[in-house]
C-alpha cells in the first residue's frame, strides 16, 4: 500500500493512543484527519502534528452525535472524495461500570452507545468513501477484554477484569470486525480488530505498562498493510488473540 497520498481518519485522535496513531501515520506520509468531538483539543492536536512536519487536519466527529458523523463524511467526500484508512480508536470507560452483579446498566449503555454503536455509525458513514479508494483498511481498536475466551479462562491475567459494559462493548466491536470482513470479502477493503496492549493512557488511569508510542505500532501496522492484507483478524502485540 503506497502511502504518499493516503488519507486516514483516526477517531478520538486528540490525545493518548489515538494521537500517537495519528502521529505515526503522519510520519509515514499519510494525510491524517484528526477526529475529535472537542474543537479546541482536536485543532491543537492537528497543529501539533503539523508543527512536527506531518500533514494533519482537524475534523469534528462525535461518536454520540450522528449528525456530526454524517457531516464529517460529507466534508471528506467534498475535499478528498475517498478515504484510504479508517482507524476506529475513540472509546470510553465509565466509573460506574463493574461486574455483572453490580455494574450500572446505565453505565453499560453509555459505554456501548459510544464504543460499539458510535463505531458502527462511523464505519457505515465512511464505507462509501473507503470503497472509492484503490485499497482501504479499517482498524477497529479492540481489547483482550473483548475476548470471550480470555474472559472465561481462569489462567488469564485478565480473568478478574470484570467490567461488563466495557468488555461487552469490545466483544461487540469484534463482532463488527468478523461480520464486516465477511461482507467485504472479495473487495479491496481489509478490516481487523487490533488490541494495542495495556497502554498508559487516560483510559487506563495511566496504569498500563506500554507507552502510547509502543501501543500505536500495531494499529499503524494494520492500517498500512499492503495489497496482500489479511482481513477478519483479532491481534495483539503477542500475536493472534482468540475470539
- Mean pLDDT is lowest, of 1-15, 64-78, 226-240, for 1-15
Please tell me the distance from the alpha carbon of residue 10 to that of residue 3, in angstroms, as a whole number.
16
Q: Label residue 97 by pLDDT band (50, 70, 90).
A: very high
Domain residue ranges of the chain, discontinuous segments joined by +: 7-240
H or E element that contains 225: none
> Is the domain defined by 7-240 classed in CATH 3.40.50.850?
no
Please tell me the distance from the alpha carbon of residue 230 to that of residue 236, in angstroms, as a whole number.
15
Q: Label residue 2 by pLDDT band (50, 70, 90).
A: very low
H or E element that contains 110: helix 105-112
Share of the chain above pLDDT 90, in %: 89
Q: Establish whether 159 is a catalytic residue.
A: no
Q: How many CA atoms lie within 13 A of 111 on its CB side?
A: 25
158/233: higher pLDDT: 233
Residue range 143-152, pLDDT digits in tens:
999 999 999 9
Please tell me the distance from the alpha carbon of residue 69 to that of residue 118, in angstroms, as a whole number.
9
Residues 6+ apart with CB under 8 A from 228: none
Cell (9 digits) for 19:
494521537
Residue range 75-95, pLDDT digits in tens:
999 999 999 999 999 999 999
Residue range 192-243, pLDDT digits in tens:
999 997 775 655 555 666 787 899 999 999 999 998 899 999 999 999 999 9
Name the active-site residue from 158, 166, 198, 222.
Answer: 166
Residue 22 reports pLDDT greater than 90: yes
Amino acid at each position: 500500500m503506497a502511502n504518499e497520498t493516503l488519507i486516514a481518519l483516526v477517531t478520538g485522535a486528540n490525545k493518548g493512543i489515538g494521537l500517537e496513531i495519528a502521529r505515526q501515520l503522519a510520519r509515514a506520509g499519510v494525510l491524517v484527519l484528526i477526529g475529535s468531538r472537542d474543537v479546541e483539543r482536536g485543532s491543537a492536536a492537528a497543529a501539533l502534528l503539523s508543527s512536527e512536519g506531518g500533514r494533519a487536519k482537524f475534523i469534528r466527529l462525535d461518536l454520540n452525535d450522528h449528525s456530526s458523523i454524517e457531516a464529517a463524511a460529507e466534508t471528506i467526500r467534498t475535499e478528498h472524495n475517498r478515504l484510504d484508512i479508517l482507524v476506529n480508536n475513540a472509546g470510553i470507560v465509565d466509573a460506574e461500570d463493574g461486574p455483572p452483579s453490580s455494574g450500572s446498566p446505565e453505565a453499560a449503555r453509555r459505554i456501548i452507545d459510544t464504543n460499539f454503536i458510535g463505531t458502527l455509525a462511523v464505519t457505515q458513514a465512511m464505507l462509501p468513501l473507503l470503497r472509492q479508494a484503490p485499497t482501504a483498511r479499517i482498524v477497529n481498536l479492540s481489547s483482550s477484554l473483548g475476548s470471550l475466551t480470555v474472559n472465561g479462562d481462569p489462567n488469564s491475567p485478565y480473568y478478574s477484569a470484570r467490567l461488563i459494559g466495557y468488555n461487552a462493548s469490545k466483544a461487540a466491536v469484534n463482532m463488527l470486525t468478523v461480520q464486516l470482513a465477511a461482507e467485504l470479502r472479495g473487495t479491496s477493503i481489509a478490516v481487523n480488530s487490533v488490541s494495542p496492549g495495556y497502554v498508559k493512557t487516560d483510559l487506563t488511569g495511566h496504569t498500563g505498562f506500554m507507552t502510547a508510542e509502543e501501543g500505536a505500532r500495531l494499529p499503524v501496522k494494520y492500517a498500512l498493510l499492503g495489497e496482500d492484507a489479511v482481513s477478519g483478524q483479532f491481534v495483539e502485540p503477542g500475536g493472534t488473540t482468540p475470539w
